[in-house]
């Protein structure tokens, strides 16, 4: 999706969250922030998290306005002293604007597009409020939201801590308004995010640590030119539904040199993604690297040119997985998994065209065509089944190739299952272990895949 992204506006939606800027080089998180709640249309100051050891400096007062409207609270970085000449360090101005914006709900920090701002790494920890009551409905989707950015980099040794444990503990409580809304959102294949980029171009996220997000940690949507490098994402394995990096409708993505451990997918590649290169990352625990689920509710999904290279996946349910719902249209083409080292992974290689996260799903004829999937040098240990490829009866998978795939049972696996190949065509080369993995049908039935691609993507 090629948006016109010339406006450089940084929109931080973090109502009711508070910023705790810890002193540089200190490991103690001392809250100097305040938490504000909206009451009868007025920003009301409430006490911070109680950890403050010294009197916090008063934050700049929010602009005065008689007609309170959370959406009109815009903080221009230049009115906080930013020079915008590309040379002067404007970090302090951004910090000041950020602090001021945190005082009111749904604030926006404006960075005028005609200037260049040099923002140095801002040390410190940004904490999302752990109080569920502090999350308003409109801010439920994400607590830091960047929109329509062009050539933007987030870097620094700071930590973004989503403090999500209150969420994980409450996922059973469907009646809690926040939780039920979140579950509702999830059912629409959306999630609650710690950090989200929307409609952005050439964005880099590097060196940061993201911990304990309520659900997903880092999301890129409708963007182009994304680089994620040297980041750490970590939530306890017990946290449900926490994806590491989630990308959707986004092209030209590079994810590299990072450690990602979450309860759900390590990297989740969704509809509309192409030219994605994931390399040199460590995943686990969780559900490994996923394409999909694609094609839910008969939707169109096109995914192509995906390379996953030199990754290590440990202690996970799956290794590399492609999952599509019955009834979808579109295609998955040209996907290569190479140099994947698995360790204690239940099922390292999965293609599931019958994906269903309910008890049962209606059988449907339409299917997203899957063609050109290569597995090269997939090695390590599995604890359930080495490979599970279940393709559609009407649209078999074609050009599925295995090259040097060597998997062995992990020491503590109680029961092992043979590999499954269903309606999948392809070839194998090199050493293939265990031998039952060599179950692909030879020859290719290209017509249906090509037809599907021609008319849909």
Ligand X SMILES: *[C@@H]1O[C@H](CO)[C@@H](O)[C@H](O)[C@H]1NC(C)=O
Q: Which of 134, 217, 265, 287 is catalytic?
A: 287
- Tokens representing 329 are 């249209």
Question: Distance between CA atoms of 175 and 284, rounded to whole angstroms?
Answer: 31
263 binds ligand X (CB under 6 A): no
* Stretch of residues binding ligand X (CB under 6 A), selected from 62-70, 115-123, 149-157, 239-247: 149-157
Residue 393 DSSP one-character state: S
Smallest gap from residue 163 Cβ to ligand X (A): 8
> Of residues 78, 91, 334, 413, which one binds ligand X by CB under 6 A?
334
Largest separation between any pair of C-alpha atoms in the chain: 75
Indicate the residue among 207 and 265 with the shorter CB distance to ligand X.
207
* Residue among 264, 265, 352, 388 flagged as catalytic: 264
Complex with ligand X: residue 104 or 182, whichever CB lies closer: 182
Is the four-CA dihedral 163, 167, 168, 169 of positive or negative sign? positive
- Find the binding residues for ligand X in span 181-240 (CB under 6 A): 201-202, 207, 209, 225, 230
Phi-psi region of 69 (alpha: psi -120 to 50; beta: other; left: phi over 0): beta
Please pick, from the candidates 305, 379, 394, 413, the single residue that binds ligand X as defined by CB under 6 A.
Answer: 305
Measured from the CB of residue 333, what is the shortest distance to ligand X in angstroms?
A: 7
- Site membership for ligand X, residue 9 (CB under 6 A): no
Q: In angstroms, give the least distance from the CB of 51 to ligand X.
A: 15
Report if residue 254 touches ligand X, rule: CB under 6 A.
Answer: no
Using CB atoms within 10 Å of the CB of residue 392, give its burial: 0 to 12 exposed, 13 to 18 middle, 19+ buried.
buried
For ligand X, the closer CB: 93 or 449:
449
Which of 34-55 are b and which e, b meaning 16 or more Cβ less than 10 Å from the residue's Cβ? bbbbbeeeebeeeebbeeeeee
Q: Tell me which stretch binds ligand X (CB under 6 A): 138-146, 150-158, 185-193, 291-299.
A: 150-158
- The verdict on whether omega for the bond into residue 302 sits within 30 degrees of 0, i.e. cis, is no
Hey, which residues does 195 pair with through a beta bridge? 144, 218
Answer yes or no whether residue 307 interacts with ligand X by CB under 6 A: yes
Q: Which two tokens stand for residue 240?
A: 């449900």
Binding status of residue 360 toward ligand X by CB under 6 A: yes
451: contact with ligand X by CB under 6 A: no
Beta strands in 315-457 (DSSP E): 318-324, 329-345, 347-352, 369-382, 387-390, 397-409, 420-422, 424-433
CB of 385 to ligand X, least distance (A): 19
Is 264 an active-site residue? yes
188 is catalytic: no
Which letter does DSSP use for residue 77 in this model?
A: G
Between 79 and 171, CB nearer to ligand X: 171
Binding mask 165-184 for ligand X (x = CB under 6 A): xx--x---------------
Q: Is 39 in the site for ligand X (CB under 6 A)?
A: no
Q: Does residue 53 bind ligand X (CB under 6 A)?
A: no
356 CB contacts (<8 Å, ≥6 apart)? 325, 326
Q: Which helix (H) or strand (E) segment is 143 a member of?
A: strand 142-147
The catalytic residue positions are 264, 287
Q: Which residues bind ligand X (CB under 6 A)?
A: 5, 130, 150-151, 157, 165-166, 169, 201-202, 207, 209, 225, 230, 274-275, 304-307, 334, 360, 362-363
């Amino acid at each position: 999706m090629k948006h016109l992204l010339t406006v450089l506006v940084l929109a931080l939606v973090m109502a009711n969250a508070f910023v705790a800027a810890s002193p540089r080089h200190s490991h103690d998180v001392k809250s100097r922030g305040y938490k504000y709640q909206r009451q009868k249309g007025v920003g009301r100051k409430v006490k911070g998290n109680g950890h403050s050891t010294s009197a916090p400096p008063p934050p700049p007062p929010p602009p005065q306005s008689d007609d309170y409207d959370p959406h009109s609270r815009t903080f221009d970085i230049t009115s906080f002293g930013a020079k915008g000449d590309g040379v002067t360090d404007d970090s302090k101005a951004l910090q000041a604007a950020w602090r001021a914006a945190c005082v009111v709900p749904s604030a926006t920090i404006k960075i005028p597009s005609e200037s260049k701002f040099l923002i140095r790494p801002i040390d410190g920890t940004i904490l999302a409020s752990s109080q569920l009551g502090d999350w308003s409905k409109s801010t439920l989707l994400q607590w830091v939201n960047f929109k329509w950015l062009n050539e933007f980099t987030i870097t620094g040794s700071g930590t973004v801590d989503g403090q999500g444990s209150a969420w994980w503990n409450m996922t059973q409580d469907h009646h809690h308004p926040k939780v039920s809304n979140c579950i509702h959102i999830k059912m629409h294949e959306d999630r609650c995010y710690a950090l989200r980029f929307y409609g952005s171009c050439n964005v880099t996220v590097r060196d940061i640590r993201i911990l304990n997000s309520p659900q997903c940690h880092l999301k890129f949507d409708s963007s182009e030119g994304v680089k994620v490098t040297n980041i750490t994402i970590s939530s306890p394995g017990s946290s449900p539904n926490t994806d590491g990096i989630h990308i959707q409708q986004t092209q030209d993505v590079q994810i590299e040199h990072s450690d990602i451990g979450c309860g759900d997918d390590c990297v989740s590649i969704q509809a509309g993604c192409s030219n994605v290169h994931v390399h040199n990352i460590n995943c686990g625990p969780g559900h490994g690297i996923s394409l999909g689920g694609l094609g839910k509710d008969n939707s169109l999904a096109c995914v192509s040119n995906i390379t996953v290279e030199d990754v290590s996946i440990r202690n996970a349910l799956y290794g590399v997985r492609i999952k599509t719902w019955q009834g979808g249209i579109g295609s998955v083409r040209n996907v290569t998994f190479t140099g994947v080292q698995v360790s204690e992974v239940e099922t390292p290689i999965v293609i599931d065209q019958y994906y269903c996260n309910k008890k049962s799903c209606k059988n449907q004829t339409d299917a997203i065509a899957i063609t050109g999937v290569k597995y090269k040098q997939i090695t390590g240990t599995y604890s359930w089944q080495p490979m599970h490829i279940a393709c559609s009866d009407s649209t078999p998978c074609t050009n599925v190739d295995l090259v040097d795939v060597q998997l062995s049972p992990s020491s503590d696996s109680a029961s092992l299952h043979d590999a499954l190949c269903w309606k999948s065509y392809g070839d194998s080369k090199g050493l293939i272990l265990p031998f039952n993995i060599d179950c692909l049908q030879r020859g290719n039935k290209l017509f249906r895949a090509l037809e599907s691609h021609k008319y849909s993507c």
